[in-house]
Chain A
Amino acid sequence: MDKERTLSFIREQMASGMITPEDLANISKPATVHEADAPSRNVTRVLYGIGAVIAVIGVSILLAEHWDEIGFLGRVVPTLGIAVATFVAGILFKNSQQKPLSEAMLGISAILAPLGSYVFLHEIGITLDWAVQLCLALVWAVLFAGATWLTRRSAPVLATVGFATWAYYAFLLHIVDVAYGGDDFIKWATIVLGIAYILIAYGYASIAGDPEETREKQSVRGILYDFGTLAILGAGIDLGGVFDLFYVLPVFAGFYGSVYLKSRGMLILSALFLVAYIIKLTSKYFVDSVGWPVALIVIGFLVIAVGYLTFYLNRKYIVRS
């Protein structure tokens, strides 16, 4: 294909909308510095991650060993102080060269924020009741949502979702506790939360705008898909009663979703919960009629079938994509 024919082909594809000017701009860029130094960037990232974990462990040990001796400032500064300082640092280091550092800082902040807030409130004599928890969780959720928007990084998305989940349960448990002692609301609330996680993961691409972050985005989406599936299927299998009949629907929706969303975690969790469902139904409804030995044989072959289905779906639809 000579140059003229190639250019003509590209023009046709652009006219049809298949190729956009942005696509052309992307492929016309020289091999970027990012690609060239990817291994060293990964090492840096790993070191930042290890450093963050060590810092958090250090704070925990400091508090555990010297709680009585360090006084108000000694307790608040290494917890809430570091949480706030690393949060601010995470925002300040938001330019592209320092983004992994920004992510590490925000990660430390997200881990220390609940501990730091608790220590601070404890020190000033405020009990962590439902209203305080709700306010606290909402404040941190809003702050990390702002950090997500400012830094365009993936780590604060998980922190935002985590704090919003805390606020959700704080409010829900208060409502249920005030007027009703039953636990069905909590199970349904967890199913709703699981659906929300999956929808957030699906729509997440539209909120984080940094094209360099494809792998990170996929990781965050994967985590949200996994937790969403766990919440829906974990709470669903515990509902019991008439819902035992319909539980197979969300399980197979999980299989379908895993293929549609290319999520291996969702596939594995769906398979595990299908196995749990088979065992639950067999032990509940069939053991008395066919006896445990026959039930175990049937369960064994059904588990093998689920295993093959999982392997087949993974190989045909998920690995290839």
Chain B
Amino acid sequence: MKKNISLIVAIALPLIFLAAVAIAVLVPAASVHPTYSFIYTSDPSYYGYYGAYRSTYIVNNGSIALQSLPTQPNMQYRDEAPPIYLYDVKTDTTHVLTLDQAHAYSVDPGPSSPDGYIVQYEYGNNGIFDLFGARSDSNGYFIEKGSAKKKLPGLAESNGYSYNGSFKLLGWIK
């Protein structure tokens, strides 16, 4: 009987743990309902291989505008400015915008959205000793408010934004 109990506990313990983790993690995530979409750019901090951009973006009186950067001698330039994207928080999708389209939106430069959310890079789990259970695809950008957070699937590795530093939030669409 004692051995049967140990088997029952052995099976029940991981199930209870999974249920507890699911409640602890998924319930706060379910409460993440951002209402403001945002505009961002991919602005890598290193320019070496591909070259630099001549301009960057600023938010001036709630509008996105271009600002020229000082020209540097011997610098390879790749383009006028980095691409701009709109992240739709309702559909978790991302769309390319032209500067004119971006300029038409009235934005709050944040970094917090009007309803208190921030977008931030999180390093995922590295498993045990970086081996057991290790995975890199849990790294990524999360939208967070307090302890509740949810991954932004639109900013996925395949879109080239998964590494920290490339993403730059320009503003939350009012």
Contacts and interface: CB of A to CB of B under 8 A. Distances in A.
B133 A180 contact: no
Contacts of B6: 199-200, 202-203
B28 interface: yes
B46 interface: no
Which among A179, A188, A197, A203 has the highest number of chain B CB atoms within 10 Å? A179
Given A183-B125, A203-B7, A234-B128, A188 B25 contact: no
A186 B4 contact: no
B21 A185 contact: yes
Contacts of A169: 133
A16 B149 CA distance: 64
A179 B29 contact: yes
Interface of A: 168-169, 171-173, 175-183, 185-190, 192-193, 195-197, 199-200, 202-207, 234-235, 238
Interface string B1-31: 0011111011101100110011001101100
Interface residues of B, number: 37
Contacts of B137: 177
Contacts of A196: 10-11, 13-14
B13 A183 contact: no
B26 A175 contact: yes
Contacts of B50: none
4 tightest Cβ-Cβ pairs between the two chains A and B: A183-B125, A179-B29, A181-B122, A199-B10
28 contacts: A168-B14, A172-B21, A173-B133, A173-B135, A173-B138, A175-B21, A175-B22, A176-B138, A179-B28, A180-B29, A180-B122, A181-B124, A181-B140, A181-B142, A183-B124, A185-B21, A186-B127, A186-B128, A186-B133, A187-B128, A190-B132, A193-B14, A199-B9, A200-B7, A202-B3, A203-B5, A206-B7, A234-B132
